[in-house]
Amino acid sequence: MWCLPHALCVHAAKASKLPGSWSRPAAFMSTLLINQPQYVWLKELDLQEENEGVYNGREVITTYSRVRQASVADYEDTVKKAREAWKIWADTPAPKRGEIVRQIGDDLWEKIQVLGSLVSLEMGKILVEGVGEVQEYVDICDYAVGLSRMTGGPILPSERPGHALIDQWNPVGLVGIITAFNFPVAMYGWNNAIALICGNVCLWKGAPTTSLISVAVTKIIAKVLEDNKLPGAICSLTCGGADIMNLLSFTGSTQVGKQVALKVQERFGRSLLELGGNNAIIAFEDAVSMFLGAVEEAKKEGGTVVMDRPGNYVKLTIVTGRGHDASIAHTQTFALILYVFKFKNEEEVFAWNNEVKQGLSSSIFTKDLGRIFRWLRPKGSDCGIVNVNIPTSGAEIGGVFGGEKHTGGGRESGSDAWKQYMRRSTCTISYSKDLPLAQGIKFQ
């Protein structure tokens, strides 16, 4: 079960505008969780009563509970510093970049319990999952270290004598990373670790409801960069726009993802989209409203609610008695609702799986070997994650994470996802004295 975590503090307005006891600065400061004994561990993450909301190698101060919207000047300054930092980072050998990422992973591991506690406190998921998120970032750092010695393309045979073809990969430059509230650490880690070893610099915009997590993670990374005498702007943090990124990685709803894709496409930019998937859990009060709305809609459409309970605490709700084509079942509610349908045969249920607009994750439970491989083949599931005898949630960092259709088509994390953070060139090199043309063409 999930509930809304308490806000960590209130906006630090001027004392003259605060009513009653809030007019006393001392009283205001005493209400901050960081000043309460049971939350003193927040200081282990170098968090203070006020923290930087924009980071580009220097500190810009904002309020404790939220990252302020960066001004145009902040944003332009951050982008400028990030591009300057890229000139240094791109010249750093890939294995050396891997070493820096290794150090980031080590420092994250040292703070894994306290950072996991912050994830639980600010985002609302249980502690073991908060710690698991940080572990996932640590794991992708380990993966990226090895990858830093393996990226690159082959030398290809040429049809022309005395010639060679090289598949050359280079970093795209500045990667913008916009992450969602439900995985405030892992989603950034998937992108950040791989983007860094590929030679890119990163500009992160975390979810506004998990701003402290963004600040804490950035502080850990910044210390590693500064200890190695590298520009802190290699990994920047801002709440500003993202209109001049070479690659924009966005994780969030399909609705917002469409807007992001259109904006990026207007300038012929590149985007990596990981959008809605129809298999989620809730963590905040507005999600409870969406949950209740979806349950009511299911009832209106004739569904039977098997479980429910009042208040802002919800348990898994099972809805039966509706057809597979019920509109609410095709909507990503971002809530703990399971729609159960009876099917007649394999072909029918495979089609139902594929008829929804989302295409993130799917799973089948069976001991039939033939059915397993039909599920994996062209007429089986059309999702990006296709599981057998395990739930739809949970993914290992060694494989790519992402989905098809309205889920956006983006791929993050393992396998060959690194290619999305690089640009590709085919290089033809002649080492002969002749200049033959391809396809045997000769100009007489």
In tens, the pLDDT along 278-291 reads: 542 223 745 567 76
Grade residue 99 by pLDDT with cuts at 50, 70 and 90.
Answer: very high
Query: Taking 90 as the threshold, does the pLDDT of residue 343 lie above it?
Result: no
The encoded tokens of residue 15 equal: 């004392």
- Is residue 440 situated within a structural domain? no
Judge whether 226 counts as a catalytic residue. Answer: no
Phi-psi region of 14 (alpha: psi -120 to 50; beta: other; left: phi over 0): beta
Q: Residue 42 belongs to a domain with what CATH number?
A: 3.40.605.10
Do the beta carbons of residue 158 and residue 428 sit within 8 Å? Answer: yes
Looking at the structure, do residues 293 and 380 belong to the same domain, yes or no?
yes
Query: Taking 70 as the threshold, does the pLDDT of residue 270 lie above it?
Result: no
Rounded-to-integer distance, Cα 149 and Cα 96, Å: 9
Looking at the structure, do residues 73 and 216 belong to the same domain, yes or no?
yes
Looking at the structure, do residues 331 and 287 belong to the same domain, yes or no?
yes
Determine the distance from the C-alpha atom of residue 420 to the mean position of all C-alpha atoms in its chain, rounded to a whole number: 14
Looking at the structure, do residues 312 and 247 belong to the same domain, yes or no?
no
The encoded tokens of residue 232 equal: 């802190």
- Is residue 12 situated within a structural domain? no
- Residue-number span of the structural domain to which 177 is assigned: 34-275+417-423
Looking at the structure, do residues 123 and 271 belong to the same domain, yes or no?
yes
Q: Residue 333 belongs to a domain with what CATH number?
A: 3.40.309.10
**Which pLDDT belongs to residue 226?**
94
Q: What angle do CA 196, 394, 8 make, to 5 degrees?
A: 70
pLDDT higher at 124 or 286 = 124
Looking at the structure, do residues 47 and 141 belong to the same domain, yes or no?
yes
**Which pLDDT belongs to residue 350?**
92
Among the listed ranges 2-16, 49-63, 104-118, 162-176, which one has the minimum average pLDDT value? 2-16
Looking at the structure, do residues 165 and 306 belong to the same domain, yes or no?
no
Q: What is the mean pLDDT of the chain?
A: 79
Looking at the structure, do residues 340 and 373 belong to the same domain, yes or no?
yes
- Is residue 62 situated within a structural domain? yes
**Which pLDDT belongs to residue 185?**
95
- Is residue 25 situated within a structural domain? no
Q: Which residues pair with 157 in a beta bridge?
A: 164
List, for residues 105-118, the tens digit of each pLDDT value.
999 999 999 999 99
pLDDT higher at 148 or 328 = 148
The residues, any chain, with a CB within 8 Å of residue 34's CB and separated by 6 or more, are 8, 9, 40, 42, 43, 47, 48, 49, 64
Comparing CA positions, the residue from 237, 257, 290 lying closest to residue 82 is: 237
- Is residue 442 situated within a structural domain? no
Looking at the structure, do residues 239 and 307 belong to the same domain, yes or no?
no
Looking at the structure, do residues 129 and 113 belong to the same domain, yes or no?
yes
Q: What is the dihedral of CA 432, 433, 435, 441, to 10 degrees?
A: -80
Overall average pLDDT of the 292-315 stretch: 67
Domains held by the chain: number: 2
Looking at the structure, do residues 263 and 339 belong to the same domain, yes or no?
no
Rounded-to-integer distance, Cα 279 and Cα 362, Å: 9
Looking at the structure, do residues 166 and 268 belong to the same domain, yes or no?
yes
Could you please report the per-residue DSSP string of 135-176?
A: HHHHHHHHHHHHHTTT----EEE-SSTTEEEEEEEEE-SEEE
- Is residue 4 situated within a structural domain? no
Comparing CA positions, the residue from 31, 238, 240, 195 lying closest to residue 100 is: 195
The encoded tokens of residue 389 equal: 């005898």
Find the catalytic residue in 49, 274, 285, 355: 274
- Is residue 406 situated within a structural domain? no
Q: Residue 140: exposed, middle, or buried by beta-carbon count in 10 A (0-12, 13-18, 19+)?
A: buried
